[in-house]
Structure formats: C-alpha cells, structure tokens
C-alpha cells in the first residue's frame, strides 16, 4: 500500500500470478493422482487375469470342456469364456470405480 491507502498495481498482479500458479499446480497434482489410481487398478486387474490363466490351465486338466468360469478375488472378478476350440476370453472387472474392465483373448495349445 502506498501513502494514500491504495494498493499498488504491481502487488495486485503479483497476487494474481501467484494464485494462478498455485491453482494450476493443484490441478496438475489432482490429474496425476487420478492417473496413478487408474494405473494401479490396471495392474491389479492384469494380475487377476494372470492368476486366472493359471487357474484355468489347472482346471482344464480335470475338466477339459469348460465353457464359462467366474473367479472372484479380493480386488474384483474375472470372467472366463470359451470363444473357440482352444480360445478363451478373460474379462477382469475391478471393484474400484477407476477402471471398468479389461478383456484379452488367449489361445491355448494342445
């Protein structure tokens, strides 16, 4: 403030720039945290699908004609569907809201 009680224009500009930078930094941080959660969920679902592949191979030894299989884990559910003779589709669904589902198709040799 100067002697007349008015705020200097340079102070107003400085405060405006400081608030703009801090708001921008906050938005960047928020987006990075959302991306981190989505990536974390992706890896959790991929891990469930990998576990389901091993479980399917184990169950195919005792029951070779599996058409559909549901595997439930603490982090979500994996649905296995037979699409062709030796082809299965794995659909992993997370319990969290960040990632809805991932589907992959795997061919098993004889």
> Residue 18's pLDDT is what?
96
> Residue 110's pLDDT is what?
58
Residue spans of the domains in the chain: they are 9-107
> Residue 99's pLDDT is what?
53
> Residue 36's pLDDT is what?
93
Tokens of 1: 């403030």
Return per-residue pLDDT of the chain as tens, 110 residues: 556 766 778 888 899 999 999 999 999 999 999 999 888 888 888 899 899 988 988 888 888 888 899 999 998 889 898 888 778 888 888 887 655 566 677 766 65
Whether pTM > 0.85 for this model: the answer is no
């Amino acid at each position: 403030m100067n002697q007349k009680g008015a705020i200097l224009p340079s102070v107003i500009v400085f405060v405006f720039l400081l608030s703009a930078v801090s708001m921008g930094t906050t938005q960047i941080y928020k987006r990075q945290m959302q991306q981190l959660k989505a990536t974390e969920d992706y890896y959790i679902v991929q891990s469930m699908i990998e576990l389901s592949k091993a479980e399917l191979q184990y169950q195919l030894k005792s029951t070779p004609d599996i058409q559909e299989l549901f595997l439930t884990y603490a982090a979500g559910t994996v649905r296995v569907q037979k699409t062709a003779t030796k082809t299965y589709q794995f659909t992993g669904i997370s319990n969290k809201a960040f990632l809805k589902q991932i589907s992959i198709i795997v061919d098993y040799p004889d």
